[in-house]
Structures are given as C-alpha cells and as structure tokens.
C-alpha cells in the first residue's frame, strides 16, 4: 500500500517539484500523479512546464491562469488591511499560498485524488501555509511533502531525476532561492545568508538601482473605491493591468526594495530581499487615504487588527475563523475609503504628496490657523479641565 493512490502535485517546473513526480510513484507507491501549475504572473511560459510534467511521468498536467483571482481575492484584501509582516514585508509570496492550496484542493476533488503534494522543505513558511490551508479547505485530503523527507541535496535530486525521466536542467543553477509572482520577488540564500553583506545588484529584477533611475520624478495618482485600487491617473483599470502598470512605474524609479531579517514560523530568522514595488506603494497609498476618510479611533484600532492580520497571513492562517472575523472588521471600515492619492516616485522613494476624497473628514475651517478658523478655542479650557481631572486628583493625593 502506497501513501496515497492519486495525488495532485503543486508544480513549478523546477528540479524539486519535477523530481517529486517519479519519487511519489517509485518510493511512495502513488499510482497516479496529476500536476498543477498556476500562473500567478511569475513570467514563465507554462506550455513547456506542462509538457515537462508529462515527460516526468504525470498522467495529467494542469495549468491554471490564476492571476486575476490572485490580485482581486488575495492582494486587494491585504491592501485593505494595510498588511505588512513585521511592519515591512507586504506578503507577496505568502499571499499566493492559500490560492495555490485552493486550486490543489479543487483539482483533488474534481479528479478524485486522495492527496495533494508540494515540494516545500521542512524549515520554510510555505509548507506551513500549504498544509494548514489545505486542512482548512478539506480536512480529508492528505498532504504529502517528499522534499521534507528525502534528504536530497541539489546534485542528488538532479541525479535521481535523471534516472527517472526528469531532464537535467539546462540553465546554470542560480545561487539564489527565488520566489516570483506578479506582486513581487523574494530572494534568499547565496551571499545573502550573511546579514552583514550588502546584496549584489544582480539580486534585483523588478526594481532599478537608484543610479539608473530618472533624474525627474514621476507622479502617479492612484484611485481607490471602498479601499480597492480601481484606476491610475483617473483611468479605470482591471486589477492585473493596474498592478502591472504600477510595478513598472514604481520599479523604474527604484521603489519597493526591502532588505530584512524576519522571524519565520518555525522559529528561525532568515534574511530575505524583497521587491514588491506596486504592492508596497498601494499599501502606503491606501493607508494614507484612510487617514483622510476614517475617524481617528477606527484608524488607531485598525492598526492592531492589521498587525494580527499580517501575522496570520504570514503564519498560514488565511482560512481560519479569526482571519474571517478580522476580514469582516476590515471590510466594514472600507465603506468610505474612496478617493485619490497622489504619489511622487523619485530615486527609490514613493512619497505621498496629495490625497482627496468625497468622503474626506478633514475640515479646513476647523484645522486652519488662518483667519477662517472656526474652532472655538475657549471651549478647550472646559474640556481640558475635565480631561485632566483624574490626573489632578491623583497628583493632589500623592505629590508632597
Ligand atoms: N520569506 C518569504 C515568506 O515566507 C518568502 C519565502 C520564499 N522565499 C524564497 N526566496 N524562495 O513569505
């Protein structure tokens, strides 16, 4: 008896996931492997990847264009939540995992598979995200993770693959581990493993070096409706087109690089280089529009929710009761977050230089220091008398 009869494998076309195909069949007694490759805007052609899976022994090789759902159903809610893990990482890789998990589970149900599989190793975050998301979506489906158990280093994996119909990679192997999609790139390993070492320029792809950016700023206006980005410079755009265009505008100005040490779910720290030019800019712009359209107490309370939300997305709890409850809160707050944010892109910075909204709570006649000031300054005295009451009582009791 094998570990499963029919398995749907998350497939990227890389060495590890390719080797998973013969490994599952030969070592773990799986009768049939169906692969699933999702297009999340990683910029790779899926036709050859689809063929490669069949050559390596897959019975069916599925390819799904999931870009629109990726942006609409995963990135946009995270933008509404201003989600930044540890205050910096906009979760460009993490957001893709619950979507891939959903596609795997749907395929498993459609093809009557009793398990799904992925090529994650045992010390990353992605295994956690896949396993927990899959369990949340269908607890009866088994999850197999060959790379967690096989103990292959890269040459051994290549050798094993070669013996079992997986072609030896033609490209020279990169010293980096890279995850890429429409929202960003995550790069680790190689010289980046020393947190003191500056990243080489070759690490970056979506963002230009400051030295190569234009000497004039680029301005872009981002239009939001109920907290969702709907257009650029007044022109309505569909989600994928908007992110692509904004990636280009921001990336060309060197915006969106993050060099950080983060705390992984499994307790270790890792150094990761991120590029997420559009996503990061959208979070900052959205947060700014909230500062114009939400009351102070909602903005401040929401910050705590945002922190928890970011942690939950990072920690693989996209599909969970607490996350749904947080979603309900966040969506409720977005009712009035409609308007436009003006961003100046220049030499690695995305600076917000203007914001406007039909729902603006900014009252010029109250805020101005000019002649038009309507604020009743005298009323402040009584307010402060009562506001400071408990402090005054306390001080009278305890100061000598
Ligand atoms: N640290 C990021 C996360 O957990 C990215 C993980 C994948 N990174 C990579 N370089 N392959 O979301």
For ligand 1, the distance from its centroid to the CA atom of residue 150, given in whole angstroms, is 21
- Active-site residue flag, 177: yes
- As given in the structure block, the two tokens for residue 77 are 């809610």
Question: What pLDDT sits at residue 168?
Answer: 85
Question: What is the per-residue pLDDT across 176-224, written as a single tens digit (0 to 9) for each?
Answer: 999 999 999 999 999 999 999 999 999 999 999 999 999 999 999 999 9
User: Which residues contact residue 199 at a Cβ distance below 8 angstroms, ignoring those fewer than 6 apart?
Assistant: 187, 191, 192, 259, 273
Question: What pLDDT sits at residue 313?
Answer: 98
For ligand 1, the distance from its centroid to the CA atom of residue 179, given in whole angstroms, is 6
Q: Is 273 in the pocket of ligand 1 (CB under 6 A)?
A: no
Report the nearest-CA residue for atom 1 of ligand 1: 272
Pocket of ligand 1, candidates 125, 129, 275: which has the most ligand atoms within 8 Å of its Cβ, to mutate? Answer: 125
Q: Which 3 state secondary structure label does DSSP give 208?
A: coil
The candidate with the shortest Cα–Cα distance to 294, out of 343, 329, 242, 243, is 329
Q: Is 265 in the pocket of ligand 1 (CB under 6 A)?
A: no
- Active-site residue flag, 212: no
Backbone φ/ψ region at 141: left (φ over 0), alpha (ψ -120 to 50), beta:
beta
Q: Is 125 in the pocket of ligand 1 (CB under 6 A)?
A: yes
Question: What pLDDT sits at residue 332?
Answer: 98
For ligand 1, the distance from its centroid to the CA atom of residue 203, given in whole angstroms, is 14
User: Which residues contact residue 276 at a Cβ distance below 8 angstroms, ignoring those fewer than 6 apart?
Assistant: 89, 90, 92, 183, 184, 185, 256, 258
> Which runs of E-coded beta strand occur in the chain?
6-10, 32-39, 60-65, 115-117, 142-144, 177-181, 184-188, 218-225, 228-232, 235-236, 257-263, 269-275, 339-346, 349-356
- Active-site residue flag, 342: no
CA quadruple 335, 339, 342, 345: dihedral sign: positive
- Active-site residue flag, 271: no
The candidate with the shortest Cα–Cα distance to 340, out of 183, 218, 229, is 229
String of DSSP letters for 287-309: HHHHHHHS-HHHHHHHHHHHHHH
Q: Is 136 in the pocket of ligand 1 (CB under 6 A)?
A: no
Question: Which CATH code fits 178-356?
Answer: 3.90.1260.10
Question: What pLDDT sits at residue 174?
Answer: 87
Secondary-structure percent of the chain, ordered helix, strand, coil, rounded to 5: 45, 20, 35
Q: Is 188 in the pocket of ligand 1 (CB under 6 A)?
A: yes
Question: What pLDDT sits at residue 307?
Answer: 98
Question: What pLDDT sits at residue 380?
Answer: 97
Q: How far, in Å, CA of 28 to CA of 17, rounded?
A: 15
- 89 secondary structure, DSSP code: B
Domains of the chain by residue range: 6-174, 178-356, 365-389
> Which runs of E-coded beta strand occur in 104-170?
115-117, 142-144
Low-confidence ranges of the chain (pLDDT < 70): none
Q: Is 94 in the pocket of ligand 1 (CB under 6 A)?
A: yes
Single pTM value for the model = 0.97
Q: Which 3 state secondary structure label does DSSP give 356?
A: strand
Q: Which of 12, 18, 97, 355 is catalytic?
A: 97
- As given in the structure block, the two tokens for residue 366 are 């109250």
For the chain, give me the number of helices (H) and strands (E)?
A: 14, 14
Question: What pLDDT sits at residue 400?
Answer: 72
Question: What pLDDT sits at residue 108?
Answer: 98
For ligand 1, the distance from its centroid to the CA atom of residue 187, given in whole angstroms, is 7
Q: How far, in Å, CA of 83 to CA of 124, rounded?
A: 20
Q: Which contacts (CB < 8 Å, 24+ apart) does range 228-237 have?
A: 228/76, 228/79, 228/80, 228/334, 229/76, 229/79, 229/282, 229/286, 234/340
Q: Which of 72, 114, 148, 177 is catalytic?
A: 177
Q: Which of 61, 69, 92, 126 is catalytic?
A: 126
**CATH class of the domain comprising 6-174:** alpha beta
Q: Which 3 state secondary structure label does DSSP give 27?
A: coil
The ligand 1 atom at the shortest distance from the C-alpha of residue 188 is 10
Q: How far, in Å, CA of 343 to CA of 250, rounded?
A: 10
Question: What pLDDT sits at residue 170?
Answer: 77
């Amino acid at each position: 008896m094998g570990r499963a009869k029919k398995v749907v494998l998350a497939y990227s076309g890389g060495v590890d996931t390719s080797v998973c195909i013969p490994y599952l069949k030969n070592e773990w007694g799986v009768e049939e492997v169906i692969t699933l490759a999702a297009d999340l805007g990683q910029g790779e052609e899926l036709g050859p990847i689809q063929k490669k899976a069949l050559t390596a022994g897959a019975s069916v090789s599925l390819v799904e264009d999931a870009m629109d759902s990726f942006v609409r159903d995963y990135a946009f809610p995270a933008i509404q939540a201003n989600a930044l893990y540890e205050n910096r990482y906009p979760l460009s890789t993490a957001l893709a995992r619950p979507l891939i998990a959903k596609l795997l589970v749907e395929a498993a149900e459609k093809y009557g598979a009793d398990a799904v599989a992925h090529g994650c190793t045992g010390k990353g975050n992605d295994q956690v995200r896949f396993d927990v998301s899959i369990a949340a979506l269908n607890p009866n489906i088994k999850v197999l993770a060959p790379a967690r158990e096989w103990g292959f280093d890269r040459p051994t994996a290549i050798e094993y693959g070669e013996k079992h119909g997986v072609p030896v990679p033609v490209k020279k192997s990169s010293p980096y581990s890279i995850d890429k999609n429409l929202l960003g790139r995550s790069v680790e390993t190689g010289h980046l493993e020393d947190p003191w070492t500056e990243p080489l320029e070759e690490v970056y792809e979506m963002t230009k070096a400051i030295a190569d950016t234009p000497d004039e700023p680029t301005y872009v206006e981002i239009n939001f409706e109920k907290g969702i980005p709907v257009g650029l410079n007044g022109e309505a755009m569909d989600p994928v087109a908007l992110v692509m265009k904004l990636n280009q505008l921001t990336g060309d100005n060197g915006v969106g690089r993050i060099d950080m040490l983060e705390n992984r779910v499994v307790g270790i720290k890792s150094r990761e280089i991120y590029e997420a030019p559009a996503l990061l800019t959208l979070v900052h712009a959205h947060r700014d529009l909230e500062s114009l359209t939400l009351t102070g107490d909602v903005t401040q309370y929401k910050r705590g929710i945002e922190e928890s939300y970011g942690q939950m997305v990072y920690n693989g709890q996209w599909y969970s009761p607490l996350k749904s409850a947080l979603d309900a809160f966040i969506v409720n707050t977005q009712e009035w977050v409609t308007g436009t944010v003006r961003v100046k892109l220049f030499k690695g910075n995305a600076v917000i230089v203007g914001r406007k909204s039909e729902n603006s709570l900014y009252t010029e006649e109250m805020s101005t220091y000019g002649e038009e000031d309507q604020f009743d300054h005298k009323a402040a005295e009584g307010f402060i008398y009562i506001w400071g009451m408990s402090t005054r009582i306390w001080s009278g009791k305890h100061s000598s």
